[in-house]
Amino acid sequence: MVDDDPHIRASLRRTLGFEGYRVREAADGIGALAAVAQERPELVILDLMLPGMDGVEVCRRLRQIDDVPVLMLTALERTPDRVKGLDAGADDYLVKPFATDELLARLRALLRRRAPGQEPRLHRLADLVLDERSLRVERGGRVIELTPREYELLRFLITHAGQVVPHAELQAAIWGYQDSRVLEVYVGYLRTKLEARGEPRLLHTVRGFGYVLRSGGGE
């Protein structure tokens, strides 16, 4: 848990401890990175506004050494600020002030996604290939570099290829909450990268309902 406010840390420490979590604390980014290097956590709760190194930079550095789930806490409600945190590698965010029940639900959702599941697979659709083992994505032999959120969005869609996925289901599966603006932004990012060389569209919009990954047809 990384937050420069000792009162917030004390409150979260009591809440999480009561729920059975073992909590390690840091008051700034340098302390957070040092703590992760000493003992790998199952999840990181990271405040966006930190002294010195902010939460976005801490998250970027974490992603260079580990893929631990990150829940970012922020007092900023603007979509660009949330997108900035998610682009840095955060898995979810929660706006302050927040309800304890919502925080605990977000933690459980992140830990469930982290839990061991099915064996990684190789997915193909037309000339698009996603390899879960190597986290490699290619289209027509061209390697596509994706952020963690873009990769998760594409992985979910390709594992449901041909199925129209409702907005709410997609938002809940990837971010654990509903924010259609963030989803639209990421769909745009993903399309730009998938179609960088003028390739035919694979990620289609089904107006008023959701999105589908398929070869041919749609918007």
Res. 83 pLDDT band, cuts 50 70 90? confident
Q: What residue spans of the chain are helical by DSSP H?
A: 6-18, 29-38, 55-65, 79-87, 100-114, 148-159, 167-174, 180-194
Cα separations (Å) of 133 from 91, 95, 118, 159? 20, 33, 12, 14
Q: What is the pLDDT of residues 168-178, one digit of tens each?
A: 888 877 776 66
- Decide if pLDDT at 113 tops 80: no
Taking each continuous run of H as one helix and of E as one strand, the counts in the chain are 8, 10
**What rounded mean pLDDT belongs to the chain?**
85
Listed by start position, the domains of the chain span 6-114, 122-213
What CATH class has 6-114?
Answer: alpha beta
What is the dotted CATH code of the domain comprising 122-213?
1.10.10.10
- Fold matches, 6-114 and 122-213: no
pTM: 0.56
Quote the tokens at residue 43: 């999840």
